[in-house]
Amino acid sequence: MYIELVKYPDPLLREVSKDVTFPLDDKTSRLIKFMYRAMYQHHGIGLAAVQIGYTKRMFVMDTSRAGDKPQVFFNPEIVKKSTETLCDNEGCLSAPGKTGEVRRDLRIILKYQDEEGKEQQKTFYNLAARCIQHELDHLEGKLCIDYEKGDYNERKHNAEAMVESDFRTKSNS
């Protein structure tokens, strides 16, 4: 089964996702496997729930070389960051063919809940740290393509909203 992803400039990608409550309901439990499948199918290393149409604060990730170590994170929050950052180009499964130059922290400590709702705290480095920061942006309605020369650019975000409303006005008239 092919899983269609929500693609830019769909306004859903601009929504702020809501907290997941525990114990997980059946729908959310099923969503985990569905998200793993979507991530592997599209050859991604991370996927936020909003990318398959659910505005919930959850994402999946697998940064292993073999692609056999899927992890799921609920209600994630960065509690500590390194002072070192790195600027690099980032792509997004929801914005094919586009990239953004994004400055990310090299090391983060993430607090999150696991599938059982148990609180976890772990340190992540390099690619995993970058991927997590990218997914956290999704939960806030931000995209890597909004960044310019490393920094988040509100103007780029808002410019897109204007284009969308222009489009709507035109198609309504």
* CB 92 to Zn ion: min, Å: 3
Give the binding site for Zn ion (CB under 5 A). 92
* CB 93 to Zn ion: min, Å: 6
Q: Catalytic one among 119, 135, 140, 148?
A: 135
Cα separation, 136 vs 152, in Å, equals 14
Nearer to Zn ion, 24 or 52 (CB): 52
Task: Give Cα 116 to chain centroid, integer Å.
Answer: 21
Active site residue 119: no
CA distances from 145 to 39, 104, 165 (A): 19, 14, 19
Other C-beta atoms closer than 10 Å to the C-beta of 120 total 12
* CB 90 to Zn ion: min, Å: 8
Nearer to Zn ion, 22 or 55 (CB): 55
Cα separation, 77 vs 74, in Å, equals 9
Nearer to Zn ion, 24 or 145 (CB): 145
* CB 124 to Zn ion: min, Å: 17
Helix (H) or strand (E) holding 72: strand 71-81
Other C-beta atoms closer than 10 Å to the C-beta of 32 total 17
Q: Would you say 66 and 43 are in contact if contact means Cβ atoms under 8 Å apart?
A: no
Q: Would you say 108 and 124 are in contact if contact means Cβ atoms under 8 Å apart?
A: yes
Nearer to Zn ion, 140 or 166 (CB): 140
* Residue least distant from Zn ion (Cβ): 92
- Supply the residues annotated as catalytic: 135
